[in-house]
Structures are given as C-alpha cells and as structure tokens.
A and B are shown apart, each in its own frame.
Chain A
Amino acid sequence: MLYSMFPLTEVERIHENLDALMNHSAFNAIHRSFPLLNVYETADQIILRGELPGVKREDISIDFKDGILTISGKKKSRECTEDTMMLCKERSDGPFEKSVKISKKINDSAISASLKDGVLTILLSKAEEARPKTIEIN
C-alpha cells in the first residue's frame, strides 16, 4: 500500500532523533518510575496524588499494609496492527507497581481514593495519636 512513510517534516524528525538521543538511559542518571507521586500532609490527613493518565479504574489496585501504601496495575497503549508504524513512543505502558512508606500512624478504616482525569487521589486519615495536640498551660 503506497502511503507516506514519514509524514512529519524534516525538522520534526531531527527533533525526535535528538529527543531520543537525550532520553536514552545512558544520558540520564535519574530514573523515575510510573506513577509519579506527590504526598502532602495536614494536621489530620496524609494526601497522596498520583499521575496515572490512561489507566482505567478497574486496572488500579491500592494496598495499605504495615504502613506501606502500594499502588499497582497496568497501563495499556493503543493496539497496533501490522499496518501501524510507530513514529514516536514516549508514553510508558505495561504493568507498574510503586510503594510509599507512610510514616504517620493511619486510621485504617478511614482511607479513601478517587480518580479523575488521570489523577489518583488517596486520602489517609491520621490516627488520633498521630494528630498534633495542643497542650494548655494551667
């Protein structure tokens, strides 16, 4: 079937080659795994936010055991047929697993999670003894 092999212009292709060269593992000492996570703390809660674009709710598992929160699952990419040619592949896919140690004591029955626009938010309520206490002076 006669169709263009390289629909991107030369400038874009040079850019892609340079990107691939710069992104090659030999050039990057720091390797961050999927999903990227931010953790925040308030007086009452620990809040975890993860970027999981393209991952469906049913493909995510969240476990909390012995103070370790584990997020695992799989991210799927678009199916390729024998006619497909990949011109650029930056998005990761496949199975993932990442754990974070939560150093404050958590009330196990008060953990909730929500997923919106590829962002996972997990709320962990601190146990009573882990919340800051104000001490009155007599």
Chain B
Amino acid sequence: MNLEDIQMSDNNLNQVNTTSRERPSQVSTNEKFFSPDTDIYNEKESLVITMDLPGVEKGNIKIEIDENNVLSVHAKTSYTKPGNPVLSEFESGDYYRAISLRDEFNRDAIKAQFEIGVLEITIPRKEEVKPKKIEISA
C-alpha cells in the first residue's frame, strides 16, 4: 500500500479518527495553535474551503492572502472556565491554518462566511483571458 492509496481511502471515511485538537501546529516558537478540521472542495468555478472553528466569534477571525498566494486563517477562541474541570476532551486554544494557492485564482474575489461555528471561504478561478486582436498601426 503506498501513500496515494492511504490518501484515497481516508477521503472515503465519513467519521474521521482524529480531530483538530490532536493536531497542534507550530507557527512561531512561542505559540502553539490548533489546526482546524478542514474540507477543501475543488469545484468547477471555484475552490471552497470549509473549516470547523467552534468557540470562535466572527470578529476574532483573521483571513489574509499574502503576495505569494498563501491564504492564512487565524482565529481566537473565547472560552471561559465556568467551574472545576471534571472531563476535558478539548482545550482552549487558538486556530491557525495556511493553504498555498496556485496562480489560477482571483485573489480579489475571495468571499468568506461564518455560521454555526464553520468558516466557508470561496475562491473563484480567474476567468480565461480572451485572445485579443492587435492592429498594425498605419
């Protein structure tokens, strides 16, 4: 079984075996972030990215795309501790994820929506550049 086979079989699973809380990612040496569970849909007209960001308020999500077409999402959770912990399956912590995009997308037309704890980013493809006729000047 090679890497490609494992990749394909995982894509068919409905219930994934690990969650974002088990996959911390290091961004800078001093801070630890969680990588949010993400689905990426390659549609005909656009790329659609959906990310689970529970416990985050809309105003605490920062989405950026830099000059190298790297799209990054940084989100802060707003959990407080309401009592003595008896069971802890998730910790408080911030989210970070970066995705590198190819040149074929229209970076000025990226749209984002946040509802019921899920961030949905839609990145349309550039329209095909139409051939242009060039006239020879008289």
**A interface, CB within 8 angstroms of B:** 1, 3-5, 7-9, 11-12, 16-17, 19-21, 23-25, 28, 30-34, 36-42, 45-47, 49, 51-56, 77-78, 80-81, 83-94, 100, 117-119
Contacts and interface: CB of A to CB of B under 8 A. Distances in A.
A137 to B, nearest CB: 26
A114 to B, nearest CB: 12
A85 B40 CA distance: 9
Contacts of B23: 19, 23
Contact of B37 (A55, A91, A100): A91
A3 B105 CA distance: 11
A6 B50 CA distance: 18
A83 B44 contact: yes
A93 B125 CA distance: 27
A89 B125 CA distance: 21
Interface residues of B, number: 57
Contacts, number: 181
Nearest to A100: B87
B7 A17 contact: yes
B83 A40 contact: yes
Interface string B5-32: 0110011011111111111000000000
Given A20-B7, A38-B88, A84 B53 contact: no
Nearest to A23: B18
A8 B41 contact: no
Given A23-B10, A117-B116, A37 B54 contact: no
A56 B117 CA distance: 10
